[in-house]
DNA sequence: CTACTCTGCCCGTACGTGCGGTCAGTTTTC
DNA sequence: GAAAACTGACCGCACGTACGGGCAGAGTAG
């Protein structure tokens, strides 16, 4: 049924990536517990054994999904931070990027978000958890910079970062990438409310929130669709 | 090994409620998929069959947890809305209440929050979903009132409600009721940032966010611990 | 008071199913 | 020919739940 495409057996990681992508989609749709080897194998027209051969265990497969995801996000965060010096731009960029991912890699994003809790619980997730913590540290740092620069009103940076992540990580429960609501609008609205909440003057905030503005454009360049 | 037959008192469905409470705790700790009859039964020193006798299926049991939870929340929301006329007070009250629940009924709250997605997916959850939607409608209505009254800057009320719920519903992944961070502080910080973000003047916002203020007190009275 | 019956909780077990993972062997690629 | 990719049959186990029966208390008749 499925054409050979490239010869089976060789293509370095080709088949492997396919497996990972399908697994990711299943996790996104049903959650980790209900996702299973059998269905993934059937969908790809291969045997369960093949999946085991490539990944060993289900836990490892999820860990790899999370690590790859966070790896990409960290790279991108560093990239746009290097280009955006102002704290309110940085915070806005995190929001734009967070929303953007929901449409750029919907499956991976949902899979990550709905299974984040395993980062703290399960063993074997140390790497991914470290990446996640590093990412949050970047946001906290930007919030602190803003406070010190007097752009944000003083407050608890850690709590604020959690408030912010909550809004973004919750999106998987309601946001439909195929739906009517454009992600840019979501990002813009979230940005405006958040930045105003941090005490950023409306004009500065408007620029940072603008879907056509410099921040959004920078994020769009950095977080480009891959292959 | 079973205890003396009848527990002190004969609270209507005493045993039944005990089962539900234990099940709820297991869902909160491991998630619905990993929670199972065997463990609950063992912990209560009863047979799996007893659980089935009382609830029929696992799905039904979860549905009942969700319906009871949302029922209580709706009652309380109506109660504090009746006492707080101002939009900024109402929004603050939703935040205070949302945080408060994490310590008042930690297990039920976590169980609800981590399994919310089933409200939209699964059949048999129509009632609970209706309750959840009704709750969100209350928040959206308060946001719209605020806009019309000129207390909030114009914006997309639905998006704002989702942004707000995200912050609160995400708490289960990081908030520890036993931890150092007092829930009142979380609520206060969330309130301040959110209300400022909605355009509420700082003095008005400070009163509404104050853990000792009228709004927090009203919520504390309405959302009292139950027997 | 006694005997009988009805009823609702509760028990223990057994069954079917689904799933993660193993393994010995085959095919493909270089 | 060596190594990697792949297969398909199989195992063991955990879990939901169906089922038949036990048992204690309430109601009723004599």
A89 CB contacts (<8 Å, ≥6 apart)?
A208, A214, A215
Same domain membership, residue B64 and residue B49: no
pLDDT of residue B121: 83
> Distance between CA atoms of B45 and A4, rounded to whole angstroms?
56
| Low-confidence residues of chain B: pLDDT under 70 | 1-14, 226-227
Same domain membership, residue B84 and residue B32: no
How many domains are there within chain B? 2
Tokens for B139, please give them.
């928040």
- A33 belongs to a structural domain: yes
Domain encompassing residue B122: 58-223
Would you call B173 and A198 a contact, using CB atoms and an 8 Å cutoff?
A: no
pLDDT of residue A199: 97
Any strand D atom closer than 7 Å to B36 CB: yes
pLDDT of residue B146: 97
**Does A29 contact chain B (CB < 8 Å)?**
no
Q: What are all long-range contacts of B135-138, with beta carbons under 8 Å and residues at least 24 apart?
A: B135/B70, B135/B73, B135/B74, B135/B77, B136/B161, B136/B165, B138/B77, B138/B78, B138/B81, B138/B94
Same domain membership, residue A96 and residue A27: no
**Does B20 contact chain A (CB < 8 Å)?**
no
- A37 belongs to a structural domain: yes
Same domain membership, residue A64 and residue A37: no
- A75 belongs to a structural domain: yes
- Contacting residues of A for B166, CB less than 8 Å apart: 166-171
- Contacting residues of B for A193, CB less than 8 Å apart: 155, 160, 163, 194, 197-198
**Does A182 contact chain B (CB < 8 Å)?**
no
- Contacting residues of A for B193, CB less than 8 Å apart: 155, 160, 163, 194, 197-198
> Distance between CA atoms of A186 and B155, rounded to whole angstroms?
11
pLDDT of residue B125: 92
Same domain membership, residue A103 and residue A69: yes
Same domain membership, residue A214 and residue A138: yes
Same domain membership, residue B154 and residue B122: yes
Would you call A197 and B196 a contact, using CB atoms and an 8 Å cutoff?
A: yes
Any strand D atom closer than 7 Å to A15 CB: yes
| Low-confidence residues of chain A: pLDDT under 70 | 1-14, 226-227
Which residue approaches C22 most closely, CA to C1'?
A: A49
End-of-domain residue from the set A56, A71, A92: A56
**pTM of the predicted structure, to 2 decimals:** 0.91
Same domain membership, residue B109 and residue B37: no
Exposed / middle / buried, residue A67 (Cβ in 10 Å: 0-12, 13-18, 19+): middle
**Does B180 contact chain A (CB < 8 Å)?**
no
Asked if residues B183 and B101 have their Cβ atoms less than 8 Å apart, the reply is no
């Amino acid at each position: 049924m499925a054409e050979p495409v490239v010869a089976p057996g060789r293509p370095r990681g080709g088949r492997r990536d396919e497996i990972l992508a399908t697994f990711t989609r299943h996790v996104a749709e049903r959650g980790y517990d209900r996702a299973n080897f059998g269905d993934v194998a059937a969908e790809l027209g291969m045997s369960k054994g093949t999946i085991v051969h490539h990944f060993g265990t289900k836990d490892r497969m999820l860990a790899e999904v999370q690590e790859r995801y966070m790896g990409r996000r960290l790279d991108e965060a560093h990239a746009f931070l290097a280009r955006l010096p102002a704290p309110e731009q940085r915070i806005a960029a995190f929001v734009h990027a967070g929303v953007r991912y929901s449409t750029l890699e919907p499956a991976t994003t949902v899979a990550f978000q709905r299974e984040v809790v395993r980062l703290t619980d399960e063993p074997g997730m140390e790497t991914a958890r470290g990446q996640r913590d590093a990412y949050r540290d970047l946001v906290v740092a930007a919030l602190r910079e803003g406070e010190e620069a007097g752009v944000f009103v003083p407050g608890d940076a850690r709590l604020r970062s959690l408030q912010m992540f909550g809004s973004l990580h919750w999106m998987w429960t309601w946001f439909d990438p195929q739906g009517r609501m454009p992600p840019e609008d979501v990002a813009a609205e979230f940005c405006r409310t958040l930045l105003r909440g941090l005490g950023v003057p409306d004009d500065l905030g408007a620029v940072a929130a603008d879907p056509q503005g410099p921040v959004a454009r920078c994020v769009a360049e950095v977080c480009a669709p891959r292959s």
